[in-house]
A = this chain, B = another copy of it.
Amino acid sequence: MPDQKTGLIVTAHPGDFVWRAGGAIALHAKKGYKVKIVCLSFGERGESQFAWKEKGATLESVKAGRKDEAQRAAELLGAEIEFFDCGDYPLKLNEAHFDRMVDIYRELNPSFVLSHALEDPYNFDHPNACHFAQETRVVAQAMGHKPGAQYKYSAPPFYMFEPHQPEQCNYKPDLILKIDDVWEQKYKAFQILAAQKHLWGYYERVALNRGIQGSRNTGIPMTYGEAYQTLFPRVTFELG
């Protein structure tokens, strides 16, 4: 399918792509995009409190559990997923991860990339992941990086999905994606993250309120929304 459009999601931990971008993933998959998730860590140290409470938990068992969940959620949403397994709290990203990320940008030549917000005082892996996704996005343009490689690449628009406490992250959405058509899928993906049941309701409420805001801002009827903040100016041919 040479002309298949593609989308890329770069997240620090498995839960992030579900809560924050699950609608975008499912929606574009449904539209025929090839959607790929790069999941930098399994969130094994910092985002798996529930798993560590189980008797006999080890780093490997926790990672395996989170990996399984993430794979099932990605599949349910219609995306493929690649794990960098770089470790979390903090992320330990090295040059090999950097080069692999650049390769993915070039392999995929995505029409959009989604990642975390610029700041997050509650979770330093998030801005690190955002910075990593941004910097590799630029380096992928550099012909002097792996010179001679064959690829077609144009740096895609960069959208930042919503953090848990947006105002504390100085996050200001400028775009709301209507996700009504895939809401059930997104909610089912929530349910794969069984141990974080307390977040199901939280992010359902976020989706409903973003939906109302989308409606109020534009008059477009919608029930569920996903908020994004754009990093670069876009070009348009018509304002109306």
Contact = CB atoms under 8 A, between A and B. Distances in A.
Interface of A: 5-7, 24, 27-28, 31, 33, 44-49, 52-53, 57-59, 62, 88-90, 110-112, 114, 121-124, 131, 134-135, 138-139, 141-145, 147, 154-155, 157, 159, 164-168, 170-178, 198, 201-202, 205-206, 208-209, 212-220, 222, 225, 227-228, 230-240
A238 B28 contact: yes
10 contacts: A27-B237, A31-B238, A46-B145, A89-B145, A112-B240, A124-B135, A168-B232, A173-B233, A198-B212, A205-B205
Contact of A147 (B52, B141, B178): B52
A203 B59 CA distance: 41
Contacts of A198: 212
Nearest to A128: B135
Given A46-B145, A89-B138, A89-B139, 8 more contacts: A24-B239, A49-B142, A112-B239, A124-B134, A167-B171, A168-B233, A174-B174, A227-B233
B240 A218 contact: no
Contacts of A239: 7, 24, 28, 111-112, 114, 157, 159, 177, 228
